Structure formats: C-alpha cells, structure tokens
Amino acid sequence: MTRKGKIENVRRILVKVGSAVLTGEEGLDLNIIEQLVNDIAALRERGYQVVLVSSGAIASGKHRMGIKGRLKSIPQKQAAAAVGQGRLMRVYSNAFGKHGIYVGQVLLTMSDITDRKRFLNIRNTLFTLMDWGVITIINENDTVAVDEIKFGDNDHLAAMVANIVEAHLVVNLTSTEGLYDRNPAESKKAKFIPLVTEITPEIEAAATEEATPVGMGGMKSKVLAAKKVIASGIPYIIAPGRHPGVLQEIMDGKETGTLFLPPAEHLNSRKYWIAFTLRSRGRLLIDDGAKQALVHDGKSLLPSGVTQVEGDFVLGDPVTCVDAAGNAIAKGLVNFCADDIRKIMGLKSSQIESVLGFKDYDEVIHRDNLAVTAPQSGKTKTCA
C-alpha cells in the first residue's frame, strides 16, 4: 500500500514540535514558527483538525534571560519555562491570528492525567476547544512539574495526548529527516528508514539517546513514544520540522520522514491509559499458563497463575505482570491488595473465601482492567 493509502482516513492530527526545530541562536525562530503555523493553517483549510504539542518554553526563556550554555538546575529550567511559555504563546497567537485562528494554551503534568476523572475532564476540554475551531497548544507545565509528576519530555507528553484527543495520526517534527539505521551525525553510512512496521530491538538500538542542548528527547525517546502511540492503533511519523510545507507533504502522501505503522491489534483508549499513563505500584510474576491465558486467550488473571508478588499495593492499584523470563507483558488494576494476593497466589478462585474470609472477585485482575502489551508474536513491548 502507498503512503497515501496508509493515512487516507486521517482527519485529526497531533503535531509535536521540538525545541531544536523552533529555536536557534537568537531564541525562538520566528520565521520557522510562521512557516509551521502557515502549514497548519493550510491543513485546516483542507478540513484537518490539528492539535499542537509544542516545546520551546525553556529555550525561549533561557535566551530572554541571556543565559548561555545548558541550564543546570531544575529551578533554573522551571524559571526559564515561566519566562518562555508566555512568549511562546504570544508568538503562536500572533502567527495564527494572521489566519484568523485563535489559540488556547493547555499545560499538563503527569498527575493531571493519571487520575481518571481529571483525564476525562481534560479530554472534554480539548474536544470543546476542537469544536470551537481553536488550535490547542499543549506543553508540559514545566514550572510546577518535578520528578515523578514530569512527563519527562514532550515526546512522551505527545504520546499521552494522542490518546486523550483520539488522534488519527501523530507527526513528530524534529531537527532530523527521520530515523536512520545508525546515528547520521556519527556515520556517513547511515541509511534512512522510511517505514517501520514493527519496533524491533534493532530499530530501538538504531535510535540514540542524545538530545540537543535545548530539547530533552533525542531519537530514542521519539522511538519509545512511537512505540506507545502505535500500540493504541495510531500511525506515527518522525519528520523534518524545518522543511517548508512538511505537514502538507505528509498529508499529500509523499514519503517524507519515517512512518511507524500500528500493529493489527491495538489497545483501546482506557487500556492505553492503564498501560502507559499509570505508574505501576508493583509486580506480579506469572507462570506460563497464565501468560498464555492473558496474551493469547484474552482471559483474566486468576490467583492460580501468580507465582510471586513484589511491592506493596492496594486494591485498584496498577500493577505490572511479568512472565517467567522477566518480561513485562501486561499492566492491570488489581482486585486485591499485595498481602492478600500473597495469601491466595497459586490457589483456585474457589479457595479465596476460605483463605481470606471474603471473596469480592474471582480474578486478581479482570480482563477489562488489563492491558496486554506483549504482542502475540512473542516479542515484548515495554510498558511505562
């Protein structure tokens, strides 16, 4: 199938743009931003909905404060973001204003979306903004996000937002052409990869860690984000953000950038949220029979399949299921606390009541609350 055929049903696009695209020596690159905004406005004319995840706050704030080199401390980065975020929005607002388009700002932290109610509220807000024809510009709430509430980088943030807005396509605009089989900055032999149908260990190894001085991600984080996004059935393109008209080219079906195709089977929105948004509170080691039941037979996890419990978690917590080889194969919300599972592991469901004195559930994790992340082929995807 041609590139065009693979994206022909796309109507809603999540565009993520990195600091390395948006900024130069002189802080925000106004020409590039104008070029990007023109490209997005042209897509809107063609009937596409666009949601934008934009970096650039820290880089812009750093430049405004006249700071050279890397910002070293977290408070410095947070303060730079406080200065830069307002500027970033003003630049976008002016550029979109020329097309008669209003912009809305949404700043998120991880804790905003790990809570299911808040997740759904944010979703309603984002859908309302889309209904209003506003271009929503999303960034991490850098000034308040520290350590565990941090998305870590905007590649990851965009992967989470893609699920929230039910994007049909994610385009990650970067300072490279796309993915190569090795780092093109280090090797002249590096070969461009236009299409990825499965994220194999070789593909992951091809992507290196280094981020630019102003961005956080590096190619590795883009490929890890692609892995999450395609797990929910959304195709993902890493493309050159400074290339004029790049978004229109992509929607014209040109072979621009690297396209990652989703597998035939993918997670629904709620299971994606469980797999990739929630932080795991512990691990359940499971035997081969339980692995078969979860991965291939679409069944729930029963106490009989659990061989070991790690961590201290309570009913309803997200917990990772790990196979005998140590691979994380699923994540789900448990029906019993860690201590109770320790007491009932290896037993039949019919024995739960006599051991615990109560039995609210037959399953340790019900199928509806279980996101299987191991593909049927046996290769293992990671979950967050």
Going residue by residue from 80 to 99, which x/- string records binding to ligand GLU, judged by CB under 6 A? -x------------------
Q: Which of 178, 217, 282, 318 binds ligand GLU (CB under 6 A)?
A: 217
Using the rule CB under 6 A, is 19 a contact of ligand GLU?
yes
Q: Which residues make Cβ contacts (< 8 Å) with residue 180, sequence separation at least 6?
A: 190, 191, 192, 193, 206
Cβ(317)–Cβ(296) under 8 Å? no
What single-letter amino acid sits at 338?
A: A
Size of the site for ligand GLU (CB under 6 A): 16
Using the rule CB under 6 A, is 158 a contact of ligand GLU?
no
Within residues 298-357, the interface with ligand GLU by CB under 6 A covers none
Angle, helices 30-45 vs 74-97, to 10°: value is 50
Distance CA 137, CA 91 (A): 12
**Residue 355 phi, psi (nearest 5):** -85, -45
> Considering beta carbons, is residue 89 or 356 the nearer one to ligand GLU?
89
Using the rule CB under 6 A, is 153 a contact of ligand GLU?
yes
> Considering beta carbons, is residue 33 or 364 the nearer one to ligand GLU?
33
> Considering beta carbons, is residue 215 or 257 the nearer one to ligand GLU?
215
**Minimum Å distance from CB 315 to ligand GLU?**
35
Taking CB under 6 A as the binding criterion, the range among 185-193, 210-218, 263-271, 346-354 that sits at the site for ligand GLU is 210-218
**Minimum Å distance from CB 81 to ligand GLU?**
6
Within residues 46-75, the interface with ligand GLU by CB under 6 A covers 55-59
> Considering beta carbons, is residue 158 or 196 the nearer one to ligand GLU?
158
Give rounded-to-5 percent helix, strand, coil for the chain: 40, 20, 40
CA torsion through residues 75, 77, 82, 83, sign: positive
Within residues 178-197, the interface with ligand GLU by CB under 6 A covers none
Q: Strand order in 282-286's β-sheet? A: 306-311, 282-286, 318-322, 328-333, 370-372
Within residues 126-145, the interface with ligand GLU by CB under 6 A covers 139-140, 142
Using the rule CB under 6 A, is 154 a contact of ligand GLU?
yes
E-strand stretches of the chain: 12-17, 23-24, 27-28, 49-54, 103-108, 135-140, 169-174, 179-180, 192-193, 195-196, 236-240, 258-260, 282-286, 306-311, 318-322, 328-333, 370-372
In which residue are the tokens 């559930």 written?
Answer: 361
Using the rule CB under 6 A, is 216 a contact of ligand GLU?
yes
> Considering beta carbons, is residue 171 or 364 the nearer one to ligand GLU?
171
The residues of the shown chain that bind ligand GLU, judged by CB under 6 A, are 18-19, 55-59, 81, 139-140, 142, 153-154, 215-217
